[in-house]
Amino acid sequence: MGRVAFLFAGQGAQVPGMAADVKDLPKVKQLFALAESIRPGTVDAMLFGTQEELNRTLLTQPTMFLSDLAYAYAKEEELGTPDCVCGFSVGEVPALCFAGVLSQEDAFRAIVRRAELMEAYTQRIAGCMIAVIGLAPDAVEALCDGENNFAANYNGAKQTVVACRAEAEAEFCAKVKTAGGRAMKLRVSGMFHCPPLLPEAQEFERFLKGCTLRAPRLDVYANLTAQPYPQDIAHTLAMQMCSPVRFTQTVANMRARGVEEFIEVGPGKVLTGLVARG
């Protein structure tokens, strides 16, 4: 029998009312109560907020954390513990919490701090994320200048997401069209997973080093390396913020180690869709 992986959804998958269908499970109720004691109003925003409100980084990340982890607990109760996990971008924090690396309290405080840092960054540098569809990753890389736009998420053979400065958006989208691809702006509030985020990533690493970090109870595949987490957890998780998400390679490495079933935990089916398309 093949191995099973849980995939923790990332920023952009947020929708109003996410996790409402699992909110009454005892473990989820405990998680939500803890979150409310640390950052009041977060659960209500997740369950009853508007799409516009949820799209703001300061709220997107804590609510996605809660939603992902809630769905993971529900799936674990239904199907049993998976063999390994990975989280896409912000989803890596609930994945590490689920694997026992971070306590619920430390993980929620960490995601709130990550959101604060990235929200401040969006005020410092205006930008967006653009999914390029229909072009191979190397073709997308060739369109990026390494200053105004960067290959940020390797999602599949024909889908790569680019982090782009606001002032360069129109020109970059025109280049994509000329090259035969399609550009689609994502539902996020800045340009992430690129070198300009290094100062915030370094600050996040300093925060993480104040948390208790334990050995994982199961393999957690890192966005940074596409391999199971190494011993330097704080550095690996922090540098993920300013480095590409290597999702395609992560899935390939999981399959090479016997994973046959991928179960998305979080709102929507974006990640399992990417897995299916390859």
Tens of pLDDT, residue by residue over 166-187, are 999 999 999 999 999 999 998 8
Architecture per CATH, domain 3-123+194-277, reads as 3-Layer(aba) Sandwich (3.40)
Residues 6+ apart with CB under 8 A from 125: 165, 190, 191, 196
Q: Give DSSP secondary structure letters for 29-72.
A: HHHHHHHHHHSTTHHHHHHH--HHHHTSHHHHHHHHHHHHHHHH
Strand-pairing partners, residue 83, are none
Confidence at residue 188, expressed as pLDDT on a 0 to 100 scale: 82
Domain ranges of the chain: 3-123+194-277, 127-185
Confidence at residue 55, expressed as pLDDT on a 0 to 100 scale: 87
Q: Give the residue among 180, 174, 185, 178 at the shortest CA–CA distance from 158.
A: 180
**3-123+194-277 matches 127-185 in fold:** no
- Least confident stretch, 33-37, 82-86, 273-277: 273-277
pLDDT greater at residue 278 or residue 33: 33
CA 50 to chain centre: 20
Mean pLDDT of all residues in 234-246: 97
Mean pLDDT of all residues in 145-153: 97
Residues annotated as part of the active site:
89, 193
Q: Residue 70: how many CA atoms within 13 Å on its side-chain side?
A: 29
Q: Give DSSP secondary structure letters for 92-121.
A: HHHHHHHTTSS-HHHHHHHHHHHHHHHHHH
Position of tokens 């804590």? Answer: 62
- 3-8/127-133 β-pairing: unpaired
Q: What percent of the chain has pLDDT over 90?
A: 93
Confidence at residue 11, expressed as pLDDT on a 0 to 100 scale: 86
CA dihedral 115, 119, 122, 124 (to 10 degrees): -120
The CATH number that domain 127-185 falls under is: 3.30.70.250
Confidence at residue 219, expressed as pLDDT on a 0 to 100 scale: 97
